[in-house]
Amino acid sequence: MDSTWWAVARSEEVTGKKPLSVDIGDRPVVLWRDLEGRPRALEDRCPHRRAPLSLGCIRKEGWIQCGYHGWSYDGETGRVREIPNLKNEQRFSPVYRAERYAVHEAAGFVRISQDTEAAPPQTAVIDMPLSGTVDVALDHDRYLAALFDEPGLLLSITGVHFTTYLMSELHEQGGQLVMERSCQWKRPHWPAAFSSDYPLTLISTTEPLTGETALLLRDRDFRDLLSMRLAPVPAGRGVTSVRWRAAAGAGLPNFAGRALAWLNPVKVHPTVDGAALRKLKPTASVVFDELRRALHPSPAQSVA
Amino acid sequence: MLDLPHDVRDEQSNSSMDPSPGTRFSANGWMPHGIVLKDTWFPLAHADAIGERPARRAVYSHPYYLWRDKGAVIASEFHPREKVTRAASELTGGTGRYPVMERYGYVWGWFGNPGAADEIHLPNLPFLPPKGGLPGHMRGTVRFDCTAPLSLENLIDLTHADFLHANVVGDEKSESEDIKVFSDSETITMIRHCIGKSVAPAMRFFGGVKAKTQEVRQVIRIYVRSHAAIAYGRFRPGDDVPLFHPCVPETRDRTRLDFAMNTSRSHNLFRYVMPKASYLVSRQDSSMTSPQSARYARPEKRRDLHSKLDGPSTGYRVLMQQLAARQAAGDFAYRADGIVSKDCSEIIGCDPGMFPYPN
């Protein structure tokens, strides 16, 4: 059983009002909140006639109800709790259940795992008020390779230019893949290749299986300007669903920090410039597969 | 002119330098990204670029933070404001501080066993003032998105210069051309002597050279462990153009070059213009070495082709592998023929009277 935890939603996307359809690879998943506000996840497939549960609704009991024949499931066990034409039947055989996922919510992300006994993931607890979701027509591995080789193709931070220069190549550190890229402010200056010192650095720490990446933008005086968490998940048809959260200005003096946070400097692009991507030469990403295989001989994508 | 394919894949190593006599090193089997040479000084920064505010450098992704405390330079694994969450590495003997020294206007950081750090292993640069002080317009910084050995191979492969940099150094036309290559256990030197060579445009326009041809003696000397090179050009009529060309491997695929070109004995305009040519030349080089680099990062079944003009670069590849093999076998010592701090003025053709700096 695959125990990988995928960050398939931001907390605010999962509600008790309307089911949310997501997917991990070709496997559809429905998310919602139960009566107590706990996020629940089932395979987005009614075991009765295979209709997507996400087309149904959430009942006042906190169950999810299929929109086709009205079968209702509780998210905690996945078991059928009610069938409209059999309301006198209070008990159903245990085989009457939808496939359930383990759910864990922390730091603004909802993560799920196919392994219902999986140990909860270790996650950062930092509050990141800025957030967004994009679906990018690029498969998960290529999305990560582009993130390692040229993050500017996938996201932008207002006023910041990502150079091609690395101060630390992609390497393993405590089970994570870490690298550091030099950055400049976007303003008139020497071309990046001729600058003596770069004022900014972007440190990325990537979970090798899921590609979930923590980004930290730091200035030359070691002040944290922006923290970000990017969660790319392989979705259907080779699309990558990317959820992200960010907090800006935490390490800056009062006014500058507040202004940066207010401006929301982060944009994660929903499209990729194909011409630039085609010409992008693999550099940092060259060692990605090798490092990942060393840490996890069986890539998680095979379950997706 | 070309003699293709000239196969040097089985070039025999010098058994006196080889840890296991009979081992054969291959110019084609060279995978520079996989070679990390230790126990050496790297010129991490121009000395006057380092002040009290920490500056960030790296060697093979290992962080080097440089700053001055009461004038003395410090090289640390950690930023002074860093909340230390990792242990100090063996490269600092667990102290967090690297051996560091200043010479020739550079801050040099030691990479390797800190107990082996010794200034006797500092490359000799006879055309730079030992205590620094070269004017700012003769220095600069360039970065390459490629592995450092490819930048050095590019430098020692002078035949590319006549083609890729013809607008700066002149074309390949000459009445005669002679190339010599020799090496010891730590350095490789190439001497190219051309008679009747087309005058370099930079020298014609800014150096006051009116003749149509020149006698040119160009020397490239690579200190292999330090990934640093001397490029000494002597042009007659014309000037001497001595360049220090260090290629610091900040990562295995990125290279920092804090260059110094001592044009203090050159014509007025030339002395200001020529160092700036480095920016143009490096752009031209980078356009080739950057896409090249990833193609040398993995084993390659197809062999590179070589011409008879590629002796210096294949020799460099082989010497680098010999050093790597020695280090892999646990031998990090410098040999008697590899005292890199020994005066190399005669080898590079630098007249001692031209740059009479007191030590």
Say yes or no for a CB contact (<8 Å) between A221 and B142: no
For residues B326-353, give the mean pLDDT.
Answer: 95
Distance CA B113, CA B99 (A): 10
The pLDDT of residue A237: 93
The pLDDT of residue B2: 29
The residue count of chain B comes to 359
Contacts of A194 in chain B (CB under 8 A): 140-143, 279
| Unique residue bearing structure tokens 């991990």 | A24
* Closest alpha carbon within chain B to A284: B253
The pLDDT of residue A123: 76
Print the SS3 string covering chain A: CCCCCEEEEEHHHCCCCCCEEEEECCEEEEEEECCCCCEEEEECCCCCCCCCHHHCEECCCCCEECCCCCCEECCCCCEEEECHHHCCCCCCCCCCECCECEEEEECCEEEEECCCCCCCCCCCCCCCCEEEEEEECCCHHHHHHHHHHCHHHCEEECCEEEEEEEEEEEEEECCEEEEEEEEEECCCCCCHHHCCCCCEEEEEEECCCCCCEEEEEEECCCCEEEEEEEEEEECHHHCEEEEEEEEECCCCCHHHHHHHHHHCCEEECCCCCHHHHHHCCCCHHHHHHHHHHHHCCCCHHHHC
pLDDT digits (tens, 9 = 90+) for B274-324: 898 888 888 889 989 998 998 898 888 888 888 888 899 999 999 999 999
Whether B105 has a pLDDT exceeding 60, the answer reads yes
The pLDDT of residue B24: 64
The pLDDT of residue B12: 40
The pLDDT of residue A206: 97
Q: Which helix (H) or strand (E) holds B346?
A: helix B345-348
Say yes or no for a CB contact (<8 Å) between A169 and B252: yes
pLDDT digits (tens, 9 = 90+) for B247-281: 999 999 999 999 999 999 888 788 898 898 888 88
Contact B221, B189 (CB under 8 A): yes
The pLDDT of residue B306: 85
The pLDDT of residue B10: 40
Measured between CA atoms, how close is A133 to chain B, in angstroms? 32
Ranges of chain A with pLDDT below 70: 253-254, 256-257, 298-304
pLDDT digits (tens, 9 = 90+) for B106-130: 999 999 999 999 999 999 999 999 9
Whether B137 has a pLDDT exceeding 50, the answer reads yes
The pLDDT of residue B20: 44
Whether B358 has a pLDDT exceeding 80, the answer reads no
The pLDDT of residue A192: 75
| Unique residue bearing structure tokens 């939603």 | A9
The DSSP letter of residue B37 is -
The contacts of residue B215 (CB under 8 Å, 6+ apart) are: B193, B194, B195, B196, B197, B235, B236
* Closest alpha carbon within chain B to A193: B143
Residues on A contacting B at a C-beta cutoff of 8 Å? 164-169, 171, 180, 192-198, 201, 220-222, 281-284, 286
Chain A touched by B294 (CB under 8 Å) = yes
Chain A touched by B26 (CB under 8 Å) = no
The 3-state DSSP class for residue B239 equals: coil
The 3-state DSSP class for residue B98 equals: coil
Chain A touched by B49 (CB under 8 Å) = yes
| Unique residue bearing structure tokens 């957030």 | A131
Whether B4 has a pLDDT exceeding 70, the answer reads no
Say yes or no for a CB contact (<8 Å) between B142 and A194: yes
What average pLDDT is seen over chain B? 89
The shortest CB-CB distance from A196 to any of B49, B63, B252 is to B49
Contacts of A184 in chain B (CB under 8 A): none
The shortest CB-CB distance from B291 to any of A167, A192, A281 is to A281
Say yes or no for a CB contact (<8 Å) between A196 and B142: no
Beta-ladder partners of A247: A227
Contact B164, B286 (CB under 8 A): no
Which residue would you say has higher pLDDT here, B240 or A192? B240
The pLDDT of residue B359: 62
Name which of A223, A210, A211 is nearest A249 in CA terms: A223
Mark out the alpha helices in B4-67 (DSSP H runs): none
Written as six digits, the tokens of B243 are 């360049």
Lowest-confidence region among A97-101, A292-296, B325-329, B351-355: B351-355
